[in-house]
Chains A and B, each alone.
Chain A
Amino acid sequence: MVRRRGRIAEVHVAYIAISAAVTTAAAYIPMFPVIGAGSMMSAGMIVVPLVGILLGPTAGTLAVAIGAFLGQIVAPYGAIFGLITFLCPMTNAFVASLLAFRKWKEGICALGLTILMWYVITSIKWAGDPYASVRWYFPFLHLASFASLLIMRGKIGEWIEGLDPKKVPIGIFLSALAGLLAEHMVGNAIYVGIYSGPARVYAFVLSIYWIERLLGAIGATLVGTPLLIALYKARVEIGPWSLREG
């Protein structure tokens, strides 16, 4: 995927490195002790989809993968799934970036795949579990997001690229939400599939997860809108409006 040496998908390694560093810092090191909301939100939920939206499907996903992986090394006690924990934020950036860069078909497929993965894994691992039926309606927000993507399609990327201050927030919200939900599903798949998480836990989680994810998407939108516009005005060469031509 390296077209010009020193770059990955036209994004210079320097940007990937710094975005990875931001991911590591935001998601793993408590820099911003926002008390109270802290238990529900971490800066990671905001930064990860935005890195995806800014650097694109290849570079952005890579930056988050590196950043999250480093985060596991630096703060290993946060890596609850061990070495593979980084796959979660990586999926987040991946899905968000696909939607932001107008690759909506791939983005929808990715989100759809994670939802499918959920159904398959829970059906296998929860065989015989009395609470297994929760799996059907658990991902209601994910399905809603999936539906919204089918309706909006390429518009999400268009709105982000167009940098209209009224449309950008919607674009960011939808991509970030999709990313956050995809990440959530991957995490669930790991928990149930590899760590044998029982179904009861999910009855518990059902009432909280959607608040958490929505807040994350809102946070990403509130931060992302001024961020993207500032970067455009400051003439930094990233973001779909700059990279998509290349």
Chain B
Amino acid sequence: MSLVHYYPGDSFFHKLDPRVKMLWLACMFVLSFIFNHPLHLGVLFISVLFLWIYMKIPFSELKLFFKALTIVAIVTFFFQLLFYPGEHAIVSFSIPRWIPYFGGVTAITIEGLVNGIAMVLRLFIIVLTMPVITMSTSLEHLIISLIRMGMPYEIAFAATTALNLVPVLQSDALKIIDAQKARAFTALERGSFKDKIKAYVPLIVPLMVGSLKKGQQLEVAMESRAFGAYESRTYLTEIRMRSIDYVFAAFFVIITILCLALRILKGFGAFRL
């Protein structure tokens, strides 16, 4: 299983400098909170979907996301629908007070409904924008852009190495499960509640001890190749901002500020009855 799904491509978005892409992400995040109105949020959402399609990301990826988000989306929607304090009721009823949690709810309000939709849209926008970046940018480019933006290389390093080590740990975890099963460890499948809590011990302890010992070896390996020799280092991968990158960066920032201003001054994107 490849952890970071990277789909190389030729699209315009692919070729954008990673820093500009990150700026886009930040702007989308901000915009999704500036807007409250399902219409505006809907437009944002569609623009994200459009990007996914434009970049030719396989549908299977999209399906995965939708599958995983469905439950959270439904729960969020219902919470908003039932519990959001609104004044314009659509349907009135009365849930007796003695019913736990739902007791006392008297109506489903328009505000609740609209807010519910808005929350779901917001959720989707926020969750779907991040993968757009990781799927269109190679890991090396991502890391370089973070470093160019000022991240100390030790941190960038820890991040890429961590990503590469996750599959190793996963396979270690499987080996540990096997070894314990071979000693009749059944708590993963059955057992009392108390057993299940204790079940983590024979699994996580060997995993963490093993990983930290690996850390020791990794330290020696890195030092042996002069890691930390100087304050900085040269990098094989390069990124350069083209003029078009600056143009887009400016574009994103201006739109965001514009929307913010319009929201504050004219209530653009807010939902009012």
Contact = CB atoms under 8 A, between A and B. Distances in A.
B78 to A, nearest CB: 10
Contacts of B67: 77
A227 B205 contact: yes
Contacts of B157: 13, 17
B42 interface: no
A40 to B, nearest CB: 10
A29 B222 CA distance: 27
Interface residues of B, number: 77
B196 A18 contact: no
Contacts of A219: 197, 200
Most buried by A among B25, B203, B215: B215
B215 A32 contact: no
B166 A77 contact: no
B270 interface: no
Interface stretch (B43-51, B126-134, B234-242, B250-258): B126-134
B216 A236 contact: yes
Contacts of B123: 80, 82
Q: Which of A5, A43, A194, A238 has the most CB of B within 10 A?
A: A5
A15 B188 contact: no
Contacts of A105: none
Nearest to B119: A195
A18 B218 contact: yes
A63 B205 contact: no
B24 to A, nearest CB: 13
A24 interface: yes
A82 B127 contact: yes
A66 B158 contact: yes
A230 B155 contact: no
Q: Is the interface of B mostly helix, strand, loop or mixed?
A: helix
Given A218-B197, A223-B200, A73 B154 contact: no
A72 B200 CA distance: 23
Interface in A2-40: 2, 4-8, 12-22, 24-26, 29, 31-37
Contacts of A244: none
A132 to B, nearest CB: 10
B96 interface: no
B69 A22 contact: no
A204 interface: yes
A16 B119 CA distance: 36
B69 A21 contact: no
Given A32-B188, A46-B200, A226-B205, A17 B162 contact: yes
18 contacts: A12-B222, A13-B228, A14-B215, A22-B169, A22-B211, A25-B170, A34-B200, A66-B155, A70-B162, A77-B69, A194-B33, A219-B200, A222-B201, A223-B205, A234-B213, A236-B209, A236-B212, A238-B212
Interface of B: 3-4, 25, 29, 33, 64-65, 67-69, 72, 79-80, 82-85, 101, 105, 115, 119, 122-123, 126-127, 130-131, 134, 152, 154-155, 157-159, 161-163, 165-166, 168-170, 173-174, 177, 187-189, 193, 196-201, 203-205, 207-209, 211-216, 218-219, 221-223, 227-231
Given A5-B230, A14-B216, A73-B131, 12 more contacts: A2-B154, A6-B222, A8-B154, A22-B169, A24-B162, A34-B187, A37-B193, A70-B159, A77-B68, A79-B127, A198-B85, A230-B209
